[in-house]
Chains A and B, each alone.
Chain A
Amino acid sequence: MEVLVASSAEEVCELLTQDHRRQLLAGGTDFMVEVNYRHRSPSSVIAIDRVPELRNWRHDGDSVLIGSCVTYREIERGPLATLVPALAQAARTVGSPQIRNAGTIGGNIGTASPAGDMIPVLSALGATISLRSSEGKREVSLEDLIIGVKKTSLRESEFIESIRVPVLEGPQEFLKVGSRSAMVISVTSLAFITYPKTQSVGIGLGAVNPTPTRARRAEEFIHDYLDWEKMAVDPSVLVRFKELVSDASSPIDDHRSVASYRRHSVGVLAQRALTRVFSEGEFNV
């Protein structure tokens, strides 16, 4: 195996242009498992985890631009955790300290697993992903990038350069169901984002659909039952809200859970997130 260590994004472009079959390596937390189990042995690998542009993030007006090789560890604490709290909550549920020191946000997107913990948050935030190749750059939504289970619309020689997420003022929640608190892949997860300016909410679902999914009907439905001054919700609509979220899921049975439990639990997570942010007691229509 040839291992090429890139030192700039430009160099990643060149190496991929020479041979687009080269495998990109960021944190290695998914790729190395395949190497260790002899499921894959690419002839050429480009390590991108030391590329400065990809390792950095910056607060850019009303959004944050996060390089694809920023680790969960960097997202889960410090200024990023204040700027994008739901992303930090999600990062903190990934694996273990060892995994969070290595794994990256770009890797989570590129792997495109339905259970990727960044995905529901980025979906609910309406994140845009910046892709780069020697042909140039383009920006796509997460929904346009992840088009199937472990399948992306990345073109030949193209890689994920950065992720742009909005900096919002309202409360955010990320919730996850798994068999234990650490070192677990999501059975179900959910991100709940409030947009105080437009008085709307974004709900991203994790591990219950092949591709990133927002519970749009539930988002629209709940709109009329929220009091943004008192931060309260009409308690009589919670059951319907929960159903609408479950309806937005199309989960499968697998070794981690049965579909019926995933469908049920994603609704429960939605209700829990909603009532953490909006109180049930003080709503007056």
Chain B
Amino acid sequence: MSDITEPHLMVNGTKFTIDDSWLGESLLYTLREQLGLYGSKNACEQGECGSCSIMFDEALVCSCLVLTGNAVGREIQTIESLAPDGSLSDIQQAFVDVGAIQCGFCTPGLLVTIKNFLESNAEPTDLEIREAISGNLCRCTGYGRIVEAVRVASKASEGTEETLNDND
């Protein structure tokens, strides 16, 4: 049994000490209200919308459904880790280029989901893309441009590999 006396969270490779009183809250709430990481969005608080998606020990989950006390000692990656400040990842760039962002509230959760998805499926079909984002609700775009952005991003990462091979 790990006795939690000095609780801390490992988020995006950084260690954060947290107060005991937050152990009984959702990880989403702690990320936003204690650690100042506002990228993960708080909407439904019941795992329906995917706006708070994070990587938790290498699994994509809703951070609203993780108990903070059970996140101690786990590896947490949030949207803030997607690209260094001031730059965009291929997926973010594809969202901008294609116009897959309207109000933007669902975007961080989608980006975390899609990054994870493309890592295991580099050349997805449209059906696979739609299934992968089925836990991320977007009320603006109608999903068409999001699916398009994933297509573009998957091709962009292919292109990167080719460039690397060319350099070899």
A interface residues (Cβ-Cβ under 8 A, vs B) = 1-7, 11, 15, 25, 27-29, 31-33, 35-37, 41, 45, 47, 49, 73, 95-99, 101-102, 181-183
Contacts and interface: CB of A to CB of B under 8 A. Distances in A.
Contacts of A29: 47, 65
B45 interface: yes
Contacts of A28: 65-67, 70
A35 B19 CA distance: 18
Interface in B5-58: 23-26, 29, 45-48, 50, 53
Contacts of B117: 97
B149 interface: no
Contacts of A73: 59
Contact of A182 (B4, B53, B62, B135): B135
A2 B67 CA distance: 11
B62 A5 contact: no
Nearest to B135: A96
B134 A97 contact: yes
Contacts of A7: 1-2
Contacts of B1: 4-7, 11, 15
Contacts of B53: 98
A45 B24 CA distance: 9
B82 interface: no
A181 B25 CA distance: 31
B59 to A, nearest CB: 4
B61 interface: yes
B93 to A, nearest CB: 23
Contact of A97 (B23, B48, B60): B60
Contacts, number: 111
Interface string B58-81: 011110111111101100000000
How would you classify the secondary structure of chain A's contact residues: helix, strand, loop or mixed? mixed
B24 A41 contact: yes
26 contacts: A1-B23, A1-B24, A1-B69, A3-B24, A5-B70, A5-B73, A25-B70, A27-B65, A28-B70, A29-B47, A32-B26, A32-B67, A35-B25, A36-B45, A37-B46, A47-B67, A47-B70, A73-B59, A95-B47, A96-B136, A97-B132, A98-B50, A101-B59, A102-B59, A182-B131, A183-B137
A97 B47 contact: no
B147 to A, nearest CB: 14
A99 B62 contact: yes
A3 B2 CA distance: 10
B113 interface: yes
Contacts of A45: 24, 67, 69-70
B24 to A, nearest CB: 3
A41 B4 CA distance: 19
Contacts of A27: 65
A111 to B, nearest CB: 14
A181 B134 contact: yes
Contacts of B29: 36
A20 B33 CA distance: 32
A102 B50 CA distance: 13
Contacts of A102: 47, 59, 61-62, 65-66
B70 A3 contact: yes
A106 to B, nearest CB: 16
Contact of A3 (B46, B47, B62, B69): B69
Contacts of A95: 47, 135
Contacts of B131: 97, 182
Contacts of A101: 59-61
A23 to B, nearest CB: 10
Nearest to A49: B70
Given A37-B45, A102-B59, A182-B135, A97 B113 contact: yes
A7 to B, nearest CB: 6
A33 B46 CA distance: 5
Interface string B91-117: 000000000000000000000010001
